[in-house]
Structure 1
Amino acid sequence: MRAKGFLKSGHIPTLFSSFLYFDLSFMVWVILGPLGVAIAKSLHLDAAQKGFMVATPLLAGAVLRVVFGVLVDHIGPKRAGIIGQLIVLAGLGLAWLLGIHSYSQVLCLAVVLGVAGASFAVALPLASRWYPPEHQGLALGIAGAGNSGTALAALFAPTLAKTYGWTNVIGLAALPLALAFVVYLVFAKDSPTRPPAKKAAEYLDVLRQADCWWLMALYGVTFGGFSGLASSLTIYFNGEYHLDPVIAGFFTAACVFAGSAVRPVGGALADRLGGVNTLTVVYGIAALALFGASFHLAGPALALGVLMLAMMALGAGNGAVFQLAPQRFGREIGVVTGLVGAMGGIGGFYLASTLGLARQLTGSFQPGFLGFAALAIGAQFALLALKSRWRAVWPTLRGAGDAVPVRV
């Protein structure tokens, strides 16, 4: 009955278009990670430069998510998505035609790829606005499962780079993105209940509310961990266990698929059990797994299992955070999605860059893993302190027309 109600409550073509757009945009957003070994060899990069290279798209995406969150509120998510996809397609095409010959040039490409990461701030509101509150967790979990595109990059990019060269992979990546663009143009539609555009002061009002900052911090850990690992694990498995880049890419893809697959599960569990309860558990699991991964484990297979567990916990947490966000900020979901998503990108930049820096300075990835495990524990304790207030206050903040009770 619940599934039937979900299917009837929204707009499935838009949900699918959001997922595909998000999925293939995320594929190109993190593509420098799976190509990192080949790029580093070609451009003679050290460990810190590799870490910063794969982290730069995450930081650019973080900043641009705020920009696209504002665009979503002013021109609608569909138009904002069209603009973003055209920019990324043009950037990939130019990089392939002109070539990339220096570290500074690859960083310029990384900034353009950040526009693909900003798809988060478009795809989720596009899907969310079609669904009632009781189905928000599942709808956003399905649309958000597009972060599985990071696994496509890890799965195919190293093999294609070995066969055709890494610069040609940049051009090849534009082909599936173009297909997703056509699907998006044909099937995606803006919800008829789209709220009116807000004034600049109204965006600042959201930032004056502590709950917005808390949601940003929570997502900075869940999605930051997910995206940071997705961008770095090919380099990690190659550097720590000396795996061939193709095999390291397969290992990375397994981790990303595991994390992406459970994102809808995390949203659905949050719908049923509450977002706070779900997040409290997954932060603990993620912290333990990251702590374990910080040690040089007995072999790459064991490291794979531990990191898959970490990614599954973080992926479920991504879905749970976005079960909470529309309940607290339903009318401001466009800008809040951009802000929360931006912090997720910043978290990913922190993890990816610190893993590379730790390797450069200490010869080990351990300090980077331990630092992020500590953040997960901190988020868990913050939730325990916030839980009572949220459950008491959030239902009173709903509008008179919101008949569905809040499940925090």
Structure 2
Amino acid sequence: MNSGTPVFDKSAQVRNLALATWTSTICFWAWNMIGPMSTTYADRIDLSSSQASMLVATPILVGSLGRIVTGPLTDRYGGKALFIFVSLASIIPVLAVGFSAQADSYVGLLVSGFLLGIAGTVFAIGIPFAKSWYEASRHGFATGVFGAGMVGTALSAFFTPRFVRWFGLIPTHLIIAVALAATAGLCVALMKDSPGFTPNTDPVVPKLVAASKLRVTWEMSFLYAIVFGGFVAFSNYLPTYIKTVYDFSAVDAGTRTAAFALAAVIARPIGGALSDRIAPKWVVLTSLGGTGVLALVEILQPPPDFWSGLTFTLLAVFLGIGTGGVFAWVAKRSPASNVGSVTGIVAAAGGLGGYFPPLVMGATYDQADNDYTVGLVLLAITAGVAFLYTAFKLHAREPDSVGVAPK
């Protein structure tokens, strides 16, 4: 999104990165409105494990695929316009989820959850926007800070069940709708696109095709599907997992899920900043190795609360530094003219990586032994395969030609 070497005003950098991160936070909260309440809905509507998993996974699907579009649209129209659009477009789905839940309508929740995925597309907007506001040496920092906006999932996990208990179901969804509208207003009044932003008016489809021909796109998509997908999957499904395995209430399960998400959020900018100082490959390898080991530990069902909490917190940290590391790697390897398109595809892969695990966990849950061994083993195997591929196939320092599409 940059052209030449623009001169950045430090206060403008801080203001725009803060606004982008806040917009991501509130949109992530909206995107995760169903997950923290899924066990309550499942009990009220008498849903099976698979039906409850579908309810959790549906917003993830749309939020993932939508990023393929919002990435290149950010290259064309700028981050400010897209942030405003997504914030406003998420209001109706948030309200629809509330009214569908009030009516105990499973179909209504699925449909409104599908539309709620719009909020999840915000991620593909913010990565090129944040990158465009900072010099190359600080891209890892900028994308890591913006990525910390996924704290919205922690806020949702902690506060949504409590808001419902304090204020009621419909008022809770009205509060988030008002927050989305206020966020759009802040973007209108205070946000600006980078002085180095130059609209790319090339047709979107050819840009996506060109990005799909880049090796960096698919390598980073594979890695991001594991680290960010793992974060999204656990952030949405952990309330169900904790309630099922450890028999906590919805509020207590939400509190523990919030701690998981918060740990990942804190770790993300650390992963990005580390990737500015050392090769992102080593950050990503650390993430994948830790994720695989902790998935195996979780199969043993560590007793609550200290050991189970420690296991999931460490898992969150490894996933968090991995998300920061992968996108710092994307920023370093992607051609400047394709960064939005590459970001959109990689971000979509990350979201899709979070779509399937809840479905697998629900389908493979062993009710007799009350465990999720199959799903956790699959996570460990996937992380192990990615670790080996990264270790032996990817360079710590890429050749200059790595991002060039084949002719």
Q: CA shift at 1:322, angstroms?
A: 1.0
Distance change in 2, residues 1:133/1:61 (3 Å): same
Distance change in 2, residues 1:157/1:360 (3 Å): farther
> In the alignment, which of 361, 368, 388 is matched to residue 381 of structure 1?
388
- The residue aligned with 1:264 is 269
Q: Structure 1, residues 112-164: CA drift from partner, whole Å, max 9, x if none?
A: 21111100011222211111110000000001100011000111111222344
Q: Distance in 2 between matches of 1:147 and 1:366?
A: 27
Q: Distance in 2 between matches of 1:214 and 1:265?
A: 22
Report whether the alignment pairs 1:307 with 2:312.
Answer: yes
Q: Structure 1, residues 24-71: CA drift from partner, whole Å, max 9, x if none?
A: 110111121111111112221111111111111111111111111122
Confirm or deny: 8 A CA contact 1:10 1:131 kept in the other structure. Answer: no
- The residue aligned with 1:402 is none
Report whether the alignment pairs 1:292 with 2:297.
Answer: yes
Identity, in percent, stands at 28
Confirm or deny: 8 A CA contact 1:35 1:161 kept in the other structure. Answer: no
Q: Distance in 2 between matches of 1:41 and 1:167?
A: 19
Confirm or deny: 8 A CA contact 1:29 1:57 kept in the other structure. Answer: yes
Range with greater deviation from structure 2 (255-264 or 360-369)? 360-369
Confirm or deny: 8 A CA contact 2:216 2:402 kept in the other structure. Answer: no
> In the alignment, which of 191, 194, 201 is matched to residue 197 of structure 1?
201
Aligned-partner SS, 1:262: helix
- The residue aligned with 1:36 is 38
Q: Distance in 2 between matches of 1:159 and 1:42?
A: 17
Aligned-partner SS, 1:198: coil
Q: Structure 1, residues 235-290: CA drift from partner, whole Å, max 9, x if none?
A: 11111100111111111111111110011100011111110011111110111111
- The residue aligned with 1:182 is 185
Confirm or deny: 8 A CA contact 1:35 1:166 kept in the other structure. Answer: no
Aligned-partner SS, 1:136: helix
Structure 1, gaps ≥5 residues long: 400-408
Q: CA shift at 1:328, angstroms?
A: 1.4
Confirm or deny: 8 A CA contact 2:89 2:118 kept in the other structure. Answer: yes
Q: Distance in 2 between matches of 1:216 and 1:9?
A: 33
The ranges of structure 1 where at least 4 consecutive aligned residues each deviate by more than 6 angstroms after the TM superposition are none
Q: Structure 1, residues 332-357: CA drift from partner, whole Å, max 9, x if none?
A: 11111111110011110111221122
Report whether the alignment pairs 1:332 with 2:338.
Answer: yes
Q: Distance in 1 between matches of 2:8 and 2:154?
A: 27
Q: Partner amino acid for 1:157?
A: T
Report whether the alignment pairs 1:350 with 2:350.
Answer: no
> In the alignment, which of 228, 233, 246 is matched to residue 228 of structure 1?
233
Q: Distance in 2 between matches of 1:392 and 1:120?
A: 25
Distance change in 2, residues 1:383/1:42 (3 Å): same
Q: Distance in 1 between matches of 2:40 and 2:168?
A: 8
Q: Distance in 2 between matches of 1:15 and 1:264?
A: 13
Q: Distance in 1 between matches of 2:153 and 2:259?
A: 11
TM-score of the pair, normalised by structure 2: 0.91
TM-score of the pair, normalised by structure 1: 0.91
Report whether the alignment pairs 1:249 with 2:254.
Answer: yes
Distance change in 2, residues 1:97/1:57 (3 Å): closer
The residue correspondences of 1:3-18 to structure 2 (distance < 5 A) are: 8=10, 11-18=13-20
Report whether the alignment pairs 1:92 with 2:98.
Answer: no
- The residue aligned with 2:70 is 68
Aligned-partner SS, 1:308: helix
Q: CA shift at 1:175, angstroms?
A: 2.8
Q: Distance in 2 between matches of 1:7 and 1:360?
A: 56
Distance change in 2, residues 1:105/1:180 (3 Å): same
- The residue aligned with 1:108 is 111
Distance change in 2, residues 1:167/1:239 (3 Å): farther
Q: Distance in 2 between matches of 1:265 and 1:100?
A: 43
Q: CA RMSD in A?
A: 2.1
Q: Distance in 1 between matches of 2:403 and 2:210?
A: 17
Structure 2, gaps ≥5 residues long: 1-6
> In the alignment, which of 369, 379, 382 is matched to residue 376 of structure 2?
369
Q: CA shift at 1:197, angstroms?
A: 2.5
Distance change in 2, residues 1:398/1:37 (3 Å): closer
Confirm or deny: 8 A CA contact 1:56 1:349 kept in the other structure. Answer: yes
